[in-house]
Chain A
């Protein structure tokens, strides 16, 4: 599903964010990406979503080498990936419903499909009754749930999360991770970047660890 072949990323500043990273995430697998802050977790996720391009090596997503995806095709690549951010990136100028609907509008779903799918996604994260609310009025945990609903509403095959529990307390973090696991159970490949070791003890998934841009083998 996701394969890294000797991938390196050097930024224009000369900073070597990733060095010869190779790993593979199987379809429908759930893995954690860990490491200290600055270890290269975010860079790795940016490479998968083509926010950045690798300087060496090759990345395959759904067996497609990313270096062959032209810039103007990037939007279509991103549509098969759902992304959850630490600071959830919600838009406060619109309702919860409209936030979650955004990826579907982007793809061009018909209006009634949008309503149906948005409600289904909100139902899954337990926020169906909040669809008309402005997300600014929600708690941190609820906001993150809206972020997750937005990430999965278009049924991506891959779900990436960058420190999804970074700002949340333990109980809520557990709930959020439980949600990810549920999506994984219905066949979504899930990759969660976190530096929260405590979470890992709870979760019994495979762990890809980075240290100063290099993979740590155990």
Chain B
């Protein structure tokens, strides 16, 4: 009977050199395993010297928290912005002895001015009530028989007259009206505030660049010391055929992990600071009749902060490793 199956002849043990061939699947697996191993080792190292790790990470955290916190504050102030935008407004404080009829005529005539888009009266009684609420002087004020506030008309210049120069000219004309005691242009402080916010944004941006550079330096230096202390290991690894990527890997993970922990600490710092600020800010929002809006870290804030932190850690160690490995590599 014919043998349908027969065993392959036993492979002769090749002398000495037996090349180990990896399947692609094995390669991918061992690649990820190698990464996982490095990550575990790095985390283990951090836990071995928790105080040192915490100090480095805190330095990174502070450098991250400062500009981010500043930025958040600015954004919150700016949240009042939409109200102000295009809010060039002239307030006319009228002579107190003016009669109702004359007031009506004045309003009507102002409506026809081409430079004016909208005219509105501020209700004296309503204004007093708000003033009482805000200042807490209700007892004093209610002791008065008369409403001490003057009649106010708010004038919104037309679209073409909102530029500072033309608004100024309009103001001059309105001031000359006999019924008007004081005319006040609200433009100046709106402009000033928006400029201040713009300056703040630029300062925050500059701070961010500086402090990001600071993070890079802190991490770069930490990694440099790490490389120094693992010099023997690096040399041996290179001699037994470690690629640059293999040698770099633990340091990159170290840098990224420093960044990550720094980012987490930065978030804790920010949360505490924001909690501390939340009360006065809520009050401020109330004063401006804004919906209650607290400074909070949104999910995307958190995600981008952590991403930036990890990226900075990674890049910082990359720069450091490349600079110092060059010295340890022949040729």
Query: Which residues of chain A have a CB within 8 Å of any CB of chain B?
Result: 28, 46, 49-53, 71-72, 75-79, 83, 89, 91, 93, 102-103, 105-111, 113, 150, 154-157, 183, 186-188
Closest 3 pairs (CB-CB, A-B):
A187-B16, A187-B15, A79-B241
The interface centre, meaning the residue of B29, B31, B33, B240 with most chain A CB atoms within 10 A of its CB, is B240
Can you list 8 A-B pairs, Cβ within 8 angstroms, ordered by A? Answer: A75-B242, A91-B232, A102-B236, A106-B241, A108-B30, A155-B16, A186-B16, A188-B16
Question: Bound state CA distance, A89 and B30, in angstroms?
Answer: 26
- The answer on a CB contact under 8 Å between B240 and A102 is yes
Please, which residues of chain A bring their CB within 8 A of the CB of B30? 108-110
Cβ contact of A79, chosen from B33, B37, B240, cutoff 8 A: B240
- The answer on a CB contact under 8 Å between B238 and A75 is yes
Cβ contact of B17, chosen from A78, A113, A157, cutoff 8 A: A157
- The answer on a CB contact under 8 Å between A103 and B232 is no
Please, which residues of chain A bring their CB within 8 A of the CB of B246? 75, 106
- The answer on a CB contact under 8 Å between B236 and A91 is yes
Query: Which residues of chain B have a CB within 8 Å of any CB of chain A?
Result: 14-18, 20, 22, 26-27, 29-31, 33-34, 37, 232-233, 235-244, 246, 330-331
On whether A50 and B15 interact (CB within 8 A), knowing A79-B240, A110-B30, the answer reads no
- The answer on a CB contact under 8 Å between A110 and B241 is no
Please, which residues of chain A bring their CB within 8 A of the CB of B27? 108
Contacts A83-B240, A183-B16 aside, 7 further interface pairs with beta carbons under 8 A come to: A77-B241, A91-B232, A102-B240, A105-B37, A106-B237, A107-B241, A111-B33
Cβ contact of B240, chosen from A51, A106, A186, cutoff 8 A: A106
A85, closest chain B residue (CB): B239
Cβ contact of A110, chosen from B18, B26, B233, B238, cutoff 8 A: B26
Q: How far is the CB of B311 from chain A (nearest CB, A)?
A: 25
On whether A71 and B18 interact (CB within 8 A), knowing A76-B241, A83-B239, A93-B233, the answer reads no
Please, which residues of chain B bring their CB within 8 A of the CB of A71? 331
Question: Bound state CA distance, A154 and B18, in angstroms?
Answer: 9
Please, which residues of chain A bring their CB within 8 A of the CB of B34? 105, 108
Please, which residues of chain B bring their CB within 8 A of the CB of A76? 241
Please, which residues of chain B bring their CB within 8 A of the CB of A50? 330
Please, which residues of chain A bring their CB within 8 A of the CB of B29? 110
Please, which residues of chain A bring their CB within 8 A of the CB of B233? 91, 93
- The answer on a CB contact under 8 Å between A103 and B240 is yes
- The answer on a CB contact under 8 Å between B232 and A89 is yes
On whether A110 and B33 interact (CB within 8 A), knowing A53-B331, A78-B239, the answer reads yes
Please, which residues of chain B bring their CB within 8 A of the CB of A102? 236-237, 240
- The answer on a CB contact under 8 Å between B33 and A89 is no
A99, closest chain B residue (CB): B236
B329, closest chain A residue (CB): A71
Please, which residues of chain B bring their CB within 8 A of the CB of A79? 240-241
Please, which residues of chain A bring their CB within 8 A of the CB of B239? 49, 51, 78, 83, 89
A82, closest chain B residue (CB): B240
Question: Bound state CA distance, A186 and B15, in angstroms?
Answer: 6
On whether A103 and B16 interact (CB within 8 A), knowing A51-B330, A53-B331, A91-B233, the answer reads no
The interface centre, meaning the residue of B26, B235, B237, B241 with most chain A CB atoms within 10 A of its CB, is B241
Question: Bound state CA distance, A76 and B238, in angstroms?
Answer: 10
Question: Bound state CA distance, A30 and B236, in angstroms?
Answer: 24
- The answer on a CB contact under 8 Å between A155 and B17 is yes
Q: How far is the CB of B284 from chain A (nearest CB, A)?
A: 56
- The answer on a CB contact under 8 Å between B238 and A108 is no
Question: Bound state CA distance, A156 and B16, in angstroms?
Answer: 8
Q: How far is the CB of B218 from chain A (nearest CB, A)?
A: 25
Please, which residues of chain B bring their CB within 8 A of the CB of A83? 239-240
Please, which residues of chain B bring their CB within 8 A of the CB of A188? 16-17
Please, which residues of chain B bring their CB within 8 A of the CB of A113? 20
Please, which residues of chain B bring their CB within 8 A of the CB of A91? 232-233, 236
Please, which residues of chain B bring their CB within 8 A of the CB of A77? 241
Q: How far is the CB of B159 from chain A (nearest CB, A)?
A: 65
